[in-house]
Structure 1
């Protein structure tokens, strides 16, 4: 005799237990169903027929007994194999239709094919063909609430047939329909039975049951009568148990088309977000504020850092100073102009400038005061980032000829010539030598202590050494490094060169103020990190909002989860669906947050607040938003994936 498709032996189902009353719903049911049968299971409400259908359709497991499907013990099947059976072997038609509200008729019909990995073009064509066959060609884009009860039931029948629908499990398919619609549905089931589909009809209506070739009556969880099957001789028995078992063995190990499932997940996620726009906006608010805060805070911190470092660099804090080592007994070392030229050849050195200077009496007319007078070469404005705002700086020719020209600071101009006056072309008596004023330096202010950079007179090094101080050797040498972040490397290169030139004698002193700017940079980095950490708290709060909304979504869409499981979704499919929604929420929030941050940054720039956006910071904030979606969306998604199919389907 042929192997039955379905074989139940002493199936029992008990609800309740230790903390609740024990209720035995099924009490030792045994039956077999073969290919080609149209079976009606009848019984009053509470007789256990719906529980029996859930067990037959692998939505529920019996408490005890043996269920063999196509010869395979169902108890030995894992969750993926059970999902394969619900997807490929069974097709469910429920009394309450159980269509996903947010999906169109065609999308509802296509669902089993998506989880089966059917290519999009193929499943689109099949879904349209099924709907057209069932008289719904003009309703493919309608959502369930736009369809009548009979039309919704026909959509659920089309969904049951999407992957073949070899065994149709119809639970009270006419219970919620008017007589006309009910008759149409029964005509469809008759037609399917005549085509070789196994029909298992659950009903309490004996007139409906009479359409079947075999009637099984269930009362109080037991089979009380089972009329013999009388299939018509012309009914094709397309599917034998051996064929289905072989397909189960092959198909349960196959993976679905993850790209198609991912695209469907993205579309479904976007549809749910759009339908619940107001709630989505409130959820996104936390992510948007979090991302915008992180980006803006880091940009403000970076802008402040660059501003402070630029201001400090204006005072020469990225400069090294070299001079000969002195003691109380004798001069131990002299830095010569030849040393200066050699240092200028080092690749780590950008500019080098000999300096000779001291405080001298400076006179103009009847005014006289001591100012620092320094002899420098023409690299002075570049090395100290100190431009001339009136007139010009002296030239290479002036330096070569020892010209008696001077560039003065702002306060020298104010004290010698009067505030706002024009000193260009006039003369200052420095010591006893007249120098013509050719330029005025930009105001810089005091760099430290009581020293004021604007009380300074700058003259050519050659003129200072010959006319004022009588020495060709520099008092010290000012050196600008190529890279302010690698000053230590520059310092080591200069030390090696000087030791080589001075026959190994350490008769010089090399100092730098670069440590000051580096310390300030570290302080600013710490400040930026602190600001970023504070802003990240809002991102964390946004993540918690995502988790809360996803938990609420799972609760609201529990029945949808049950529908997806009944149509063959695996646990990982449900996990992917809800995780995709969480990530999409975070991605939309992240992009919106970045746009908002750039808008705020533009406003701050217009208000003359230092802001410096960095691409790594923007990408990092976006990545954090996505990670937040994954982390906080995983728990609700896992909760959804672990729901019991029967409980999910019967939830309100």
Structure 2
């Protein structure tokens, strides 16, 4: 024991006039522990010169691992200063430290810290990825390093397929990937047998002879003896710092200097992130499928619901349009008061005045209706009796399937003729013969069938428009309705662009005739607009309900990504130790969320379109346009960004030291 050791003061090596590579000056690392503190390092000062081979030795709890973390820029001192090539690390942010690690330090860990899901070659490439080196250059150097270390034939094997010694050599190759001038080896032989351990130590000595600075962390004196300088720690303090053997023996080569330039290449980083994302998804296939399922269901529901909503909307609009979009319907009763069948404020003369005096009128059909039973032989059928004029077919844009419409002469002569809707004709004359010229009884009065209307189907309210019997309005007044006033007058305008002008002209005419506003005028184009707005609202509601499932799927993605961050904490630490910046970690986990949601979105689009087509084949009216699939996929992609951010932020904010120590 030296005199200095006997006095309890560390023995120092002779001072070197060159600039130190690593300069630790009065560094302390303090951790709170309840009401007191623990000093993992206590006023430590060490200078490491370029090309040295230094062993930092001490028992468990002596502070050597804490010192290594600070020297490797994985951690910061609580007190004191630490300079790397003259740069004070206190002035560097997390990304600056990552860049410094990337080009200066290569880590060799006791437990190898290789990523299990990728090959040896891909593990070696990791530091070069974060340095922004091209793919071809990375592959070439990784293969060359593995070949030098005797692992050329194991480059495509995963860590689980390699022995402990082989894994440690892969770890050393990774440390050399960016030509790091400093190799930090933390108990590199601790998990190896004696033969493999000797091979690793021989390799470290060879690297030192090439000019690399080696920092060997160990508790084993036999391992420490391979270094040319030994620094002993005890209770966080340096108790000795001495040269091991004769410094003149085996003079080292000129020290290796860092020449690597870290380049930020977003497209390259994104490509690697996508590749790693698919690899991570394959590693947890069942969990990935369950996560995708939530996104798939959400996207498919949005597409199917919007398709159904658009189909329902179009169905309603078609039915309203079938009534005509150039119609004005005049009803008795003051505005705001519901019209009833007993309101007598609208007369046949009013309808005639509108036809004669208002411009832009194509046809006017005075109308009154009631329910009645129609009989043919022993067949009775309850239907709607509609009194109208010959202008009814023009106003309603109706066609005749058989026979003709009754005429103005029939109206003037109170003729007992009728025109049947298709439903009534089918029920009353089931023999298939034409009803034209045959008779039906209404209130025991025979009426000749003049014609049959072409089928129209259900209206906007689902009512059968073919369940009707038309008769001259005058005949209806005399034989069926009993009272001579109208329930409505339908006006077809010639120029739909002037429909509002025509509506106002009718209103002026009727106010002059009645000397009061005891009527209401409804514009079918406004009804169409209202129905469109209502259908749009319902479609949006359906889409919103479906989008809820997409949000639920997004929450599932976020939950799985948070679990993934916890499971892969050590991997994150490894990536940070090898030069990954916070942006790289953020990009990695955000990309994984985007890949999951993007893949789920694509499958969901296919599933949604398939569901919609299946519903269409069963008779549902479904309209598919490019909008809903693009919207649903866009929402899925946005879900990946939104719900992937929090897990990615959590991953990027991890402390490298804590992440590496995570079990």
Normalising by the residue count of structure 2, what TM-score does the alignment of the two structures yield? 0.77
2:449 is the alignment partner of 1:441: no
* Residue number in structure 1 paired with 2:639: 628
Matched with 1:76 is 91
Find the counterpart in structure 2 of residue 272 from structure 1: 280
Asked if structure 1 preserves the Cα contact closer than 8 Å seen for 2:418 and 2:469, the reply is no
Q: Is the 8 A contact 1:376 1:458 kept in 2?
A: no
Q: Give the match for residue 4 of structure 2.
A: none
Task: Check whether the contact 2:104–2:180 (CA below 8 A) recurs between aligned residues.
Answer: yes
Structure 1: distance between partners of 2:109 and 2:459: 86
Whether the 8 Å CA contact 1:25–1:220 is kept in 2: the answer is yes
The yes-or-no answer on 1:555 pairing with 2:566 is: yes
CA distance in 2, matches of 1:138, 1:78: 41
Equivalents in 2 of 1:330, 1:336: separation in Å? 10
From 15, 21, 38, the counterpart of 1:5: 21
- Cα deviations by residue, 1:38-64 (Å, 9 ceiling, x for unpaired): 112222222211111111000111111
| Residues 344-383 of structure 1, C-alpha deviations (whole Å, 9 max, x = no match) | xxxxxxxx65768999xxx99999x986454359977xx6
Write out aligned runs for 1:43-442 (5 A): 43-228=58-243, 232-233=250-251, 235-239=253-257, 256-316=264-324, 319-320=327-328, 372=387, 374-376=389-391, 384=397, 386=398, 390-391=401-402, 408-410=420-422, 413=425, 418-423=429-434, 426=437, 440-442=453-455
> Could you tell me how far 1:534 is from its partner in structure 2?
2.6
Deviations 1:324-362 (A, max 9, x none): xx999998995679987x78xxxxxxxx65768999xxx
- Residues 1:643 and 2:619 aligned together: no
Distance 1:292 1:526 in 2: 20
Distance 1:184 1:62 in 2: 34
CA, structure 1 residues 316+4, in 2 after alignment: closer, same or farther (shift >3 Å)? Answer: same
**Residue aligning to 1:402:** none
Q: Figure out how many residues of one structure are paired with residues of the other and give that number.
A: 593
SS of aligned partner of 1:67: strand
Q: Is contact 1:154-1:185 (8 Å) kept?
A: yes
8 Å CA contact 2:26, 2:43 repeated in 1:
yes
Maintained 8 Å contact 1:26/1:52: yes
Which residue matches 1:520? 531
When residues 392 and 270 of structure 1 are mapped into structure 2, their CA distance, relative to the original with a 3 A threshold, is farther
Deviation of 1:642 (Å): 0.8
Distance 1:447 1:257 in 2: 60
Q: Please state if 1:537 is matched with 2:548.
A: yes
Which residue of 595, 600, 603 corresponds with 2:614? 603
Aligned in 2, Cα 1:321/1:70: closer, same or farther, shift over 3 Å?
Answer: same
Matched, 1:478 2:492: yes
Secondary structure at the aligned position of 1:36 is classed as: coil
Shift in Å, 1:164: 0.8
The 3 A distance-change label for structure 1 pair 67 and 478 is same
Unaligned stretches of 5+ residues in structure 1: 344-351, 395-404, 460-474, 483-488
Q: Secondary structure at the match of 2:390?
A: strand
CA distance in 1 between partners of 2:301 and 2:377 (Å) = 61
Give the Cα separation in 2 of the matches to 1:332 and 1:609: 41
Change (3 A) 1:55 1:387: farther
Query: Over residues 465-511 of structure 1, what are the superposed CA-to-partner deviations in whole Å (9 max), with x where a residue is unaligned?
Result: xxxxxxxxxx97514887xxxxxx65246579999xx9xx9999974
3-state DSSP class of the match of 2:231? strand
Q: Structure 1 residues 638, 231: closer, same or farther in 2, change over 3 A?
A: farther
Quick one: distance in 1 between partners of 2:458 and 2:73? 84
Deviation of the 1:303 alpha carbon = 2.0
SS in 1 for 2:649: helix
Cα distance in 2 between the residues matched to 1:498 and 1:371: 23
Q: What displacement does 1:558 show?
A: 0.5
1:486 is matched with which residue? none
Question: What is the CA RMSD across the aligned residues, in angstroms?
Answer: 4.3
Q: Following the alignment from structure 2 to structure 1, what is the Cα–Cα distance between the partners of residues 200 and 462?
A: 96
Separation in 1 of the partners of 2:43 and 2:553? 53
Deviation at 1:187, TM superposition (A): 2.0
Between stretches 87-96 and 147-156, larger displacement belongs to: 147-156
For the structure 1 residues 374 and 410, does the alpha-carbon distance in structure 2 shift closer, same or farther, using more than 3 Å as the test? farther
Pick closer, same or farther for the CA change 1:497–1:155 going to 2, 3 Å: farther
| Residues 319 and 479, structure 1, Cα contact 8 Å, conserved in 2 | yes
TM-score, normalization by structure 1? 0.79
Whole-Å Cα distance in 1 between the matches of residues 563 and 375 of structure 2? 84
Cα pair 2:316 2:460 within 8 Å, conserved: no
1:436 to partner: Cα distance: 9.6
Structure 2 residue runs of 5 or longer lacking an equivalent are 1-16, 332-344, 379-383, 406-416, 441-446, 473-488
